[in-house]
């Protein structure tokens, strides 16, 4: 297949990546312009409108909040921070409305592709900004959120995390977490269990009335990392109608010899649990995170490792339950899959593997759109706006 043939084939699919950290990593940078073409080698960013053209029709922008103190002050700071990122994201989309806009439904994404505009969906990564107030689900829904990630690297008041050094706190979902699930179902919000513990995912599969997503996760059978999920859970996710979106985070792709990174991250995370984050403390914590990354660098992964996870997921779950969520602008990426301009390389690998065009279309977007439709249809049936 020539490069031109590949480009035409790739552009024929509706392509969506379900987890990218551009809002917090890039849009909040002073002077960084989403409407200008950037270069990964120059500024480390992995997505902008010009790089999306011809490579990605839609992205799910994750509004991420660092897990910190579970106190009234901590919740208030987290909530305020998340609202600011939502507001900044809306302002950026408005400023670039000729090229992109907010998408809320599956049909929005398809319509925008036909208009040659990019679709931007919004999610929350880590339900920490909800605090203990169920009404905040509706508040963020009103700001455009249509996907909610339960947690990040520490347990919170909704669910256990897969990487909390203290282990399980709730044994899965908390009682408040089950209320969150019901409210998300009512409003048409897709529930995302990436970063959640196995117990939390089992609970979520039992309690959610709509299919569940793992917006950026990989396969434990290929790389035994706590962020990844085992084959039994992959099959259960598929049986519930859900989708596993393949992550390009190097440490989740390739098993590595323990070299102190886990212990360093555990110490770092335990610092966070009692911290009420301020702009100043966020800067210092970001410096500490970079120090850990520099001291314990990522394993030397390639596109081959990413594709190994994707092919395993398809083998276990079936082609109707696999998608793409690379975690760009949040640590994902490697040579051969460095930014959104490399997405056609994934298509090439699937063609070479013998996937039909119909199956590739499912993996690149059809499966994700099905989840958006299922969540919206359930909400409509119950009278939610």
Low-confidence ranges of the chain (pLDDT < 70): 258, 384-385
- Only one residue has tokens 């689900």, namely 137
The CA distance from 285 to 268, in Å, is 8
Q: What is the pLDDT of residue 385?
A: 56
Q: What is the pLDDT of residue 190?
A: 98
What does the block give as tokens for 361? Answer: 């279309």
The CA distance from 22 to 28, in Å, is 9
CA 99 to chain centre: 23
Ramachandran category for residue 184: left, alpha or beta (phi over 0 → left; psi -120 to 50 → alpha): alpha
Q: Which domains does the chain have, with CATH numbers?
A: 3-254+301-381 (3.20.20.140)
The CA distance from 88 to 234, in Å, is 36
The CA distance from 188 to 176, in Å, is 18
Q: Are 339 and 328 in contact (CB under 8 A)?
A: yes
Q: What is the pLDDT of residue 284?
A: 81
Q: Are 225 and 254 in contact (CB under 8 A)?
A: no
C-alpha pair distances (Å), 271 with each of 72, 261, 313: 18, 15, 35
SS3 9: helix
The CA distance from 127 to 63, in Å, is 10
The pLDDT tens digits of the residues spanning 15-27 come to: 999 999 999 999 9
This prediction has a pTM of 0.96
Q: Are 136 and 189 in contact (CB under 8 A)?
A: no
The CA distance from 325 to 54, in Å, is 18
The CA distance from 132 to 137, in Å, is 10
Neighbouring C-alpha atoms within 13 Å toward the C-beta of 204 = 35
Q: What is the pLDDT of residue 381?
A: 77
């Amino acid at each position: 297949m020539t490069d031109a043939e590949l480009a035409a084939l790739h552009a024929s699919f509706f392509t969506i990546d379900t987890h990218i950290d551009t809002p917090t990593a890039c849009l909040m940078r002073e002077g960084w312009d989403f409407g200008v073409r950037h270069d990964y080698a120059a500024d480390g960013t992995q997505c902008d409108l010009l790089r999306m053209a011809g490579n990605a029709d839609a992205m799910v922008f994750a509004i991420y909040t660092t897990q910190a103190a579970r106190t009234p002050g901590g919740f208030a700071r987290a909530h305020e921070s998340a609202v600011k990122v939502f507001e900044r994201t809306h302002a950026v989309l408005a400023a670039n409305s000729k090229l992109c806009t907010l998408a809320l439904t599956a049909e929005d994404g398809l319509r925008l592709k036909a208009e040659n505009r990019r679709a931007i969906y919004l999610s929350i990564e880590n339900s920490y900004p909800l605090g203990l107030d169920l009404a905040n689900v509706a508040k963020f829904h009103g700001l455009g959120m249509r996907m909610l990630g339960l947690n990040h690297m520490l347990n919170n008041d909704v669910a256990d995390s897969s990487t909390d050094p203290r282990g399980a706190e709730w044994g899965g979902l908390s009682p408040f977490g089950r209320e969150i699930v019901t409210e998300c179902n009512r409003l048409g919000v897709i529930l995302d269990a990436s970063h959640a513990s196995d117990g939390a995912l089992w609970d979520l599969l039992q309690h959610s009335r709509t299919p569940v997503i793992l917006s950026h996760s990989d396969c434990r059978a290929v790389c035994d990392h706590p962020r990844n999920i085992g084959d039994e859970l992959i099959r259960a996710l598929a049986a519930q109608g859900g989708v596993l979106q393949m992550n390009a985070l190097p440490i989740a792709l390739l098993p590595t010899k323990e070299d102190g990174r886990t212990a360093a991250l555990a110490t770092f995370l335990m610092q966070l649990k009692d911290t009420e984050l301020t702009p100043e403390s966020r800067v210092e914590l970001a410096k500490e995170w970079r120090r850990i990354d520099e001291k314990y660098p990522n394993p030397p992964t390639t596109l081959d490792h990413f594709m190994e996870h994707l092919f395993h997921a398809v083998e276990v779950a079936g082609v109707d339950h696999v998608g793409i969520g690379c975690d760009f602008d949040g640590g994902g990426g490697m040579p051969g899959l460095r930014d959104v301009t490399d997405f056609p390389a994934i298509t090439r690998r699937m063609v070479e593997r013998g996937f039909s065009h119909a199956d590739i279309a499912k993996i690149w977007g059809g499966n994700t759109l099905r989840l958006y439709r299922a969540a919206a249809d359930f909400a409509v049936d119950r009278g939610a706006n």
